[in-house]
Each structure stands twice: as C-alpha cells, then as structure tokens.
Amino acid sequence: MPWYLWGSWRERPGWWLGSAGGRPGGFGGISYGAGGFVSPGGFPLGIQEVTINRSLLQPLNIEIDLLIGEVKTEEKEQIKTLNNKFVSFIDKVRFLELQNKALETKWCLLQEKTATSKASANELHPFFESYIGCLQAQLGRLKMGRGRLDGELGMMQALVQEYKRRYEDEINKHSETENDFMVLKKDVDTYYMTKVDLEIQVESLTNEFNFLKAIYEAEYNQVLSESSDISVVLSMDNNRHLDLDSIITVAKAQYEEIAEKSKAEAQTLYKTKVNTLETMAGKHDDDLRSTKHEIAELNRVIHRLRAETESVNKQNANLQAEIVDAEQRGELTLKDAQTKLAEFREALQQAKENLAHLFRNYQDLMNIKLGLDVEIATYQKMLEGEECRISGEFQSPVYISVVKHMSSNKIISVGGNNSSGRGGWRGNRGGQGIQQSIQQGRGYTTVGKGVQSGSTSISMGTNCV
C-alpha cells in the first residue's frame, strides 16, 4: 500500500459510505431523498432530484506535508550515492581482474624463463660481483666527497656568520659615527661662535692699542714741546747781582726730571699693555690654531660622513623605488584579485539563480508527476470499480448531473444501483476547483488531490462492497 493510503478510510474526513435511503451522498455533495421512486427491488426508477450542499463549494483546508520533498531528495541522494559506490566497486573489480590476468601472464613468463635463467645465473655471478665492487668503490668515493663537502659547508657557514657579525659591527659603527657627527657638528658650531667672539675681541684690543699708542705719542710730543718751548719772564733787579744761570739750570733739571718720569711711566704703561696684549694674542693664536686644526679634522669627518650619507641616500632611494614598485605590483594584484572575486561572485550569483530556476522546474515537474500519479491511481481505481460493477449481478441505469458555479467549480455526479462503488478526484490550482463523483449503488471510492503554491497533499481510499 502506498504511503498516501495509510490509515483507515473511516478516520479521514469525507470518506463515508453513501446509500439510497436519504443519507448524504458523499464527497460530491449529492443527497437522495427518502420519498423517491423505488422499484420493489430497492432500485431507483429514474433521475432523482439533485440537491447541492453550498458549504462544500468552499476551498478545502488542505494540509501540505513539507517533508515529502526532503525525504524524496534524501532518498534520491542516497540512491545516487549507492549507485556511484556500486559503479566504483564494479570498476575496481574489473581493474583487479585485469591486474590478475596481467600477473598470471607475468607469472607464466617468469616460470618459463626460470629454467633458462638458472643456467645463465652462474655465468653472470662474477659479472655482478665485479659490478657490485665498482658500485661500492664509487660509494666510498661519494662518501669521501660528502665529508669534504660537509667540511666546506661548515667553513662557509662560519664565514657567513663572520660576515654577518662584521656587517652588524659596521651598522653599529655607522650609528655611532652618526651620533659623533651630530655631537661634533654642535661643537663646531660652538667653536665657530667662539672664534667669531675672539676675532671681535682681537679687533677691539687692536683698536684700543692703536688708540693708546696715539695718545702716548701725542702726550710725548706735547711733553717735548712743552719742555723745549718754556719761556720764563723774570723781573730782575738790576741793582742786585743774581745768578740766573744756576737758576735756569736747576729749573731745566727739574723739568727734565719731570719729563723723564712721565716718559718712564708712559713707557712702562705702554710696555705693560703691549705685553698683556701680546700674551692674550699668543693665547688666542694658540686657541685659534687648535680650533683651525679641529675644524680641519671636522671637515675631513664631514666629507667622509657626507660620502657615507650619499651612499645611504642612494640605497634609500633604491629601496624607495623598490617599495613603490612593490606597492604598484601589489595594487595591480589586489585589483586583479578583486576583479576575479567580483567575477566569481557574479558567477556564484548566476549559479544560485540557475539552481533556484532548476529547483523551481524540479518542483513543477514533481507536482506534475504527483498529479500524473494521482490520475493513474484514479484511473486504476476506476477500472477496479468497473470490474467490480461488471462482476456484480445487477446493472443499473446511470444518470449524470452537471452543476456550474460562479467560482468555476464543477461537480459531476454519476450514480446507479450496484454493489460496487467508485469515487472521483478533486484538484485545486490557482483558485479553481474540480470535483468529480461517480456513485454506483451503496459503495463508493473517493480520491482527493490538492495543489497550491507548489505543494501537494494526497488522500485516497477505496471501498468496494
């Protein structure tokens, strides 16, 4: 029995046994009154009055089993998997049979060659021994070469480590030199400012020395002029006898003494200032000489550091160019990857749409298949009912009544007096309903089918009295 026929027909709504005694006529909504014309044998003598139950024209509440498609899909997938496994097993068996035949052929050939190979084995034994000896000697040479290469490898690894250490030392020295260069640059700036200050001081001291020298010369000339141009006016008493020569000599001696003292003091002061200035100039010359030496040394360091800086700048420029090139290649690669990703997404979306379209087609085909299965089952039940009717004792007249409703619902009833019964089918798709009922005698069969929104539920039953 199919899965949609499980359960008793008495447990399903709408599955009932009609009769001609005034009870409801069944799924087609037809009832027979008790006052109709009935023959003595209990059979109706003509077309009776047909009444329609309007409540049956309402849409049926058909429950949809959502697990049918999943169960069938799982069964199909399991069948496909088992078929694939079976095909793979068959291929493996065929392959193993071919291998077995090939091995049997090889075994026969080897057995045939065994007799001839035993005789030639004794002759080839010395040849193989000499060949094995050559191979062993070659193996020994290869082992010696491997040991030598291992030693060279160790030396090269040590050399690489040494170069690596030197490179790290050079990097550290370069960093230290850069730091020293910055410190020396600051010292050079300080020394240059000190040199400028000292030059300004030397210039000021030279100006002061020249000024003092000019003052000294002016004072000296003034003293000489004063001492040479002294004129003394004396009033003499001619009556007296004065010793003017001695007086003039004393005054001249006094003035000369005063001039000598002034000259000595000026010379002493001048010499003191000159010695002081010479001492300061010598000291400043020593400082200037040491500063010039330091500046020359710093210039050499600056030239060397500039050369290193230029080399580092060139390396930096090369690295920047490589970085820009790598960034451009990365951007191009990223754009290519994004383009491919977009293409893959479009292909995936198209595949999803195709899959959804195929799934809808599959659902439509499954619905059509279920409808055809229902029609086949209906026709089969009709044939069985016809066989039951033909095999009975009575053959009753058949009446057909067709009633059309405004909602495009059709009801077809066929009735008769026979001990066998046959029901019809009802389908619902897109708001249209068709019901067909064929009643013959007291027995009947009802088959129902409903299709709505891509789903199908089926209930079917048979009663043949």
Q: What is the pLDDT of residues 192-226, one digit of tens each?
A: 888 888 888 888 888 888 888 888 788 778 777 76
pLDDT score for 8? 38
Is residue 452 predicted with pLDDT exceeding 50?
A: no
Helices (H), 392-430: none
Handedness of CA 166, 172, 175, 178 (dihedral sign): negative
From residue 154, give the alpha-carbon distance in Å to each of 149, 158, 161: 9, 6, 10
Strands 426-429 and 410-415 turn out to be: unpaired
Global pTM reads: 0.24
Cβ count within 10 A of residue 185: 14
Is residue 183 predicted with pLDDT exceeding 50?
A: yes
3-state class of 257 per DSSP? helix
Residue 442: pLDDT band (50, 70, 90) is: very low
pLDDT score for 65? 61
CB 402 within 8 A of CB 412: yes
CB 53 within 8 A of CB 73: no
Output 282 or 324, whichever has higher pLDDT.
324
- Which of 22, 48, 29 shows the shortest CA–CA distance to 416? 48
pLDDT score for 396? 44
pLDDT digits (tens, 9 = 90+) for 20-33: 333 333 333 333 34
How many C-alpha atoms does 362 have within 13 Å on its Cβ side? Answer: 10
Full strand arrangement of the beta sheet holding 399-404: 399-404, 410-415, 432-438, 426-429
pLDDT score for 124? 65
3-state secondary structure 107-146: HHHHHHHHHHHHHHHHHHHHHHHHHHHHHHHHHHHHHHHH
Residue with token string 């000697």:
137
Q: Which phi and psi angles does 449 have, rounded to 5°?
A: -140, 135
Give how far the C-alpha of residue 350 lies from the chain's centroid of Cα atoms, to the nearest Å: 23
Distance CA 378, CA 384 (A): 10
pLDDT digits (tens, 9 = 90+) for 333-391: 888 888 888 888 888 888 888 888 888 888 888 888 888 888 888 888 888 888 888 87
pLDDT digits (tens, 9 = 90+) for 34-89: 344 444 444 444 555 666 666 666 665 555 566 777 888 888 888 888 888 888 88
- Which of 25, 142, 125, 129 shows the shortest CA–CA distance to 415? 25
CB 443 within 8 A of CB 421: yes
Distance CA 420, CA 417 (A): 9
pLDDT score for 188? 82
